[in-house]
Amino acid sequence: MKLTFWYVRHGETLFNTVRRMQGQCDSPLTAKGIRQAENTASALRSIHFDRAYCSSSERAWDTAQILCRGRNITPVCMKGLKEFRFGDLDGKLISDFNDRIQPHRMADDWTDVGGENVEMFRERAEKAFAQIVEESEDGDTVLIVSHGSYFMHLMKTLLNYDQQEYIQRMFAQNRPFIPNAGIAVFTYEDGKYSLIREPVTAEEFRELQQKTVTFYYVRHGETVFNTEKRMQGWSDSPLTEDGIRQAEKTGRYLSNKEFSTAYVSTSERARDTADILLAGKNIPVHYDRRLREVFFGTMEGSRYEPRWKEVYSRLETEDWSDLSGENKEDVFIRLTDFLRDAYDAAEDGDTVLLVSHSILYIDLMELLFQTDRSSFSGSHAENPIPNGGICIFERTGNTYRLIQKMKAPEESE
């Protein structure tokens, strides 16, 4: 019988950030920890899991819930997968109790403070994995969501891996032993466990895949607010007759492109543009709020010419937060998360269509290629973001390559 185990550590927690001992006590995932779990869930999107198990600690259970979204599996909580038990030192600030913690770490024996030693851990880990093996079928791929020290002790016990050499190597590379939401892989075959991939982050996992995906980013056609020179972010207005013709022209140019899927801003002007672009094409279309234009807050709908100096200044910094809108950090986060998910959902060699907006395009160019924002305005460029324009870029692992800045169809390569 052979099984493949994908082991994921929980995301960052409150106790991780304040450096408290966190064994069988618990603390909640931070906002960063939730994003780490979502990042790993996306990276593992193409990996099929037949079943999933997690530590019964809430930080692991919450991580497992994120990893299992959209999959037809429910993670089974097991107390045998809980973190190594540190006894009375659990929950203590490392800085305050370091003189007591370090000797226990060196000996890896916490029994005198009510915790575990290696043999006690081995017994419960073997029991937990024996149950998982018994419940599995030959060839299954199993997700395990647990803890950092738990995996380090698996190295010493079930995996029979040289933990000390691993620790020294991680120290030399200035790497965490087990990163939050990190991914490791090991196998079980006829009673023997073998580690086949040491823990890596989601970003490192993507680099190992070396998958290349090409993206075509298209701006929507001209709208009523465009002609009236009104701020148009999350507010909306219909395509004009010219806007419809622009979308039709772009659609003709893209008619021979084989797109695997399309992602479209939820704003109607983008949805209508996408309908024109994709007429006659039978591909999956996903409407995603993360592709909406930048939110300009209370300036939405107002004419920008009388306030051009202020608008230009805000566009340069991308900060509308004092107007109840977004700032650059907000936009970069949603763009980064969207691009991650779209990339992870694609197959190697796929071409993906994106239908979105102009200012979001500027943010995209700055985020991915460090493009100077001023190059999109004034005398530096003429019509650098045309309605119906096309930008082309590709991603391999974590690296982006710009193929074409946005151009009208007749100017495109």
Catalytic positions, written as ranges: 220, 293
Our measurement of the distance from residue 412's CA atom to the centroid of its chain's CA atoms, rounded to an integer in Å, reads 31
288: left (phi over 0), alpha (psi -120 to 50) or beta: beta
Our measurement of the distance from residue 282's CA atom to the centroid of its chain's CA atoms, rounded to an integer in Å, reads 28
User: What are 49's two structure tokens?
Assistant: 């899991």
Give the bridge partners for 187, in sequence order. Answer: 4, 194
Q: Within 10 Å of residue 184's Cβ, how many Cβ atoms?
A: 21
| CA separation for the pair 233, 383 (Å, rounded) | 19
User: What are 167's two structure tokens?
Assistant: 């620790």
User: What are 116's two structure tokens?
Assistant: 């575990």
| CA separation for the pair 7, 149 (Å, rounded) | 13
